[in-house]
Amino acid sequence: MPFYHKLGKIPHKRHTVFKKPDGGLYHEQLFGTIGFDGMSSNLYHIHRPTQVKEIKGSYDVSPKIAVENNLHSYRLKGFQVVPAPDYLESRKTVLTNADVSIILAAPQQSTNDYFYKNSDEDELIFVHKGSGKLRTHLGNIDFKYGDYLLIPRGVIYKLDFDDEDNRLFIVESTRPIYTPKRYRNHFGQLLEHSPFCERDLRQPHELESNDEKGEFLMKVKKQNKIFDMVYATHPFDVVGYDGYNYPYAFSIHDFEPITGRIHQPPPVHQTFETDAFVVCSFCPRLYDYHPESIPAPYNHSNIDSDEVLYYVDGDFMSRNDIEAGHISLHPAGIPHGPHPGAVERSIGQTKTEELAVMVDTFKPLQVTEDGMKIADDSYYKSWLEE
């Protein structure tokens, strides 16, 4: 949950006259959520933000389900997703349910020819490889390896990449994504025991205010379809705004791990939450310091949730034969834990350099056809003792 932010020029009071230099009026827009009850920002446009010239048509982007009722542990080899020039075409949904979709993308080019807006879902983009600039109608944010980019639904954006080698792990959520409630006081401020604070959240800057008329292609996602809409004015024409609803960035490298004398449970790694799933960051940290501690995680049953772990970098102590870009899926109801030999290897170790992103969902995940293309379906046997 971001805090109050102001960028550009705004009038002294909301819903009052705000004149352009030529005497005309700027056009106010309330960019709000949950009706008029959620987070919102007040935007001021050069042109009316409502000018649609044409709706050219739509195409379906619904994920194709391969495994609907799954009790199978999978390993997905994420870097086997083939790069594609276009950003939207590069996005491959590998796991999904009614609340969340997990997407891998390897775009080679910036989104030069269109603007994109997801009307139904918040997007959390984790940058595994690549750098560049997230450009939005609410300002720009520079990004690089290790950044989470949280883009609330309805934000119009482009991604400008510095080169062709990019890998993104994307979480698409039908529920709003917030920072964990237990880290915040009743004013919304992040507390002292939180593993990050407001100064770690990077807000938009470099507000683009384009005074252009013409034809501007906007690709809008709505109910698993992409609609091609032509706007009469440049979507990035905001001269100023203030409020709480805007995109922001947070680097996984700024997450401060919580450690203890014995092994800490996954909630200490929590970074974001919804009422349908949580996102955790596993970062380099000192291991447990009890003289007889076992640093490796204990066997556990996810009775109520599916567990997805995306491996980013470092030494994945609890797993054998895991590489960067791999995804493990451990479904609810099936116990899982460290691979054979991992517990013994961990004893006496003092630190880990692992870097990973975890998504725990409260509804079962379905494996898509794109997920099965990169799946190791023998992974569920990897706990057998020889």
Per-residue tokens: 145: 């390896």
CA–CA distance, 162 with 170 (Å, rounded to integer):
19
The reply to whether 306 sits in an annotated binding site is yes
CA–CA distance, 231 with 213 (Å, rounded to integer):
9
What are 120-153's pLDDT values in tens digits?
A: 999 999 999 999 999 999 999 999 999 999 999 9
Residue 92 has phi, psi (to 5 degrees) of -120, 115
- Pick the catalytic residue: 263, 269, 290, 330? 263
CA–CA distance, 292 with 12 (Å, rounded to integer):
62
Residue 140 has phi, psi (to 5 degrees) of -110, 155
Residue 137 known to be catalytic: no
What are 56-103's pLDDT values in tens digits?
A: 999 999 999 999 999 999 999 999 999 999 999 999 999 999 999 999
Q: For 201-216, give one letter per residue: b (16+ CB within 10 A) or e.
A: bbbbeebbbeeeeeeb
The reply to whether 237 sits in an annotated binding site is no
Per-residue tokens: 177: 């994504």
pLDDT at 319 over 90: no
Query: What would the 3-class secondary structure string for the chain be?
Result: CCCCEEEECCCCCCCCCCECCCCCECEEEEEECCCCCCCEEEEEECCCCCCEEEEEEEEECCCCEEECCCCCCEEEEHHHCCCECCHHHHCEEEEECCCEEEEEECECCCCCCCEEEECCCEEEEEEEECCEEEEECCEEEEECCCEEEEECCCCEEEEEECCCCCEEEEEEECCCCECCHHHECCCCCECCCCCCCHHHCECCECCCCCCCEEEEEEEEEECCEEEEEEEEECCCCEEEEEECCCCEEEEHHHCCCCCCCCCCCHHHHEEEECCCEEEEEECCEECCCCCCCCCCCCCEECCCCEEEEEEEECCCCCCCCCCCCEEEEECCCCEECCCCCHHHHHCCCCEECCEEEEEEECCCCEEEHHHHCCEECCHHHCCCCC
Residue 197's pLDDT band, with cuts at 50, 70 and 90, is very high
pLDDT at 35 over 90: no
Share of the chain above pLDDT 70, in %: 100
The reply to whether 336 sits in an annotated binding site is yes
CA–CA distance, 105 with 251 (Å, rounded to integer):
19
pLDDT at 1 over 70: no
Neighbour count for residue 195 (Cβ, 10 Å):
19
What are 263-288's pLDDT values in tens digits?
A: 998 899 999 999 999 999 999 999 99
Share of the chain above pLDDT 90, in %: 85
Predicted TM-score of the model (pTM): 0.96
Enumerate domains of the chain plus CATH numbers.
Answer: 5-68+85-251 (2.60.120.10), 252-377 (2.60.120.10)
CB 45 within 8 A of CB 215: no
Higher pLDDT, 307 or 36: 307
pLDDT at 107 over 70: yes
Check residue 154 and give its pLDDT. 97
CB 75 within 8 A of CB 379: yes
CA–CA distance, 305 with 312 (Å, rounded to integer):
22
366-368/326-330 β-pairing: unpaired
- Nearest alpha carbon to residue 139 among 202, 52, 233: 202
Q: Which of 74-78, 263-267, 319-323, 354-358 has the lowest mean pLDDT?
A: 319-323
